[in-house]
Amino acid sequence: MHPMSMLPSREELTGELRELRQRGFPRLRLCPRDALRAAGTAAGFCTGPDDELDGIEDLLRAAVRRLGGGGEPRDAHDYDPLARAAAHAFGLFAFHRGAAAADRRKAAAAVYGVTTERFRKSQEREVIEGVAAAVLALARSGAPAGPEAGPATPAPTIPSPRAPVSFPVPLQGAAPAPRPPVGRVTVRLGAIEKVGDVDILVSSENVYLEMSKTFRPTVSGALRRAATQRDGAGEAVDDVLTRELTVWLRTHHRTGRAVPPGTVVPTSPGALVRQGVRRVYHAAVATPVNDGEGYHVSPSDIAAAVRACFQLAREERTTLALPLTGICFPLLGAGHGGLPAGDAARHLVRAVRAELRQDPSWSVLLVNNSEVRADLLRRANSEP
């Protein structure tokens, strides 16, 4: 087994994977591969110089299987888009193994329905960092348990939706902001899109998973705006959250169709990665009524969404090797959802507490930018 302290960093793996994506497996011997060799040795795929190249290729196949939720990589719409794109980008499909880098990139871009240039500037980074995270997870599984391995979590009891993901590298040079206490619920007055000390931000969506316009004063609109990638002139170049939700809907054959209330879909954080956010979870709690003129939110749907958020976070701790510890919720159901703010606060706090009683390893932050509503959350949180 490879000592945990000798595992390569995610940055080292990402650099070598970027070079490998360009050259392809037939030229692996010409690529820098110190980090890949170390990870392959730790995971048990490489035992010496004789099997190093084959071991590294087997390591990447296993990483893509991990991203895809198990089973051999396949170019099918029911297979996770990130895993499919990775298999194309690195030439893991037999018919693309020796293909030119440009052809492999084109095939990977087609998974997301974007141009090759857009894929190169955006999704390709997500794919490479996703594979690097999965490689590290495999390496850790073959090494002695350590503080970075994360807590063991039970297998999920019900399935959760999957979506394209990104794996942000922690910001360098700055001390992390203090996090809420583990197993505790903290209330904060402020805008959720400004939160930078919690791993997961939860957005409130309708059951069609249609995010608000960026100019709307809603949680959904604010997070969509804050996550959008922009160029040097400040112009939007990638509406990350909406794009990834669109891919999820198309992959799961839900385009134009409502999902069950309480469904939660994950996406990468887009530009919010610069604040230390790792994931955005989209909770479908609002059902359109009156020909779309209003929305209805049921307290049971709030509870279901909270439960699904924790379940999904536990899954992603292990399947995606993300060190998730904190979740930030807005006041679900109190906006256009029609629930009185006080009632929404009580239902949200009760649902969160129920989850923490089952799994106290999480810290939870409740945020609202209205002083009145933040006070309602504090009152609900102070009730026995």
Write out pLDDT tens, residues 108-156: 888 888 888 888 888 898 889 889 988 988 888 764 333 333 333 333 3
Distances (CA, A) of 26 to 53, 172, 381: 10, 35, 59
Q: Using CA atoms, how far apart are residues 352 and 365, in angstroms rounded to an integer?
A: 10
Q: In whole numbers, what is the pLDDT of the chain averaged over residues? A: 83
The answer to whether the CB of 197 falls within 8 A of the CB of 177 is yes
**Mean pLDDT to the nearest integer, 346-369:** 95
Using the predicted structure, report yes or no on whether residue 55 has a pLDDT greater than 60: yes
Beta-carbon neighbour count of residue 293 at 10 Å?
Answer: 8
Q: Tell me which range, 4-13, 55-64, 188-197, 303-312, is most confidently predicted by mean pLDDT.
A: 303-312
Beta-carbon neighbour count of residue 347 at 10 Å?
Answer: 24
Tokens (6 digits) for 342: 């006080």
Share of the chain above pLDDT 90, in %: 44
Beta-carbon neighbour count of residue 24 at 10 Å?
Answer: 20
Q: Using CA atoms, how far apart are residues 116 and 105, in angstroms rounded to an integer?
A: 7
**Mean pLDDT to the nearest integer, 226-234:** 86
Kindly list the domain boundaries of the chain, sorted by start residue. Answer: 4-141, 185-382
Tokens (6 digits) for 29: 């011997």
The superfamily (CATH) of domain 185-382 is Leucine Aminopeptidase, subunit E, domain 1 (3.40.220.10)
**Mean pLDDT to the nearest integer, 50-76:** 82
Q: What are phi and psi of 72, to 5 degrees?
A: -65, 145
Of the candidates 24, 384, 370, the residue with the CA atom closest to the CA atom of residue 191: 370
> If you ran DSSP here, which 8-state letter would residue 45 be given?
S
Q: Which residues pair with 282 in a beta bridge?
A: 203, 265
The region of weakest confidence among 45-49, 187-191, 326-330 is 45-49
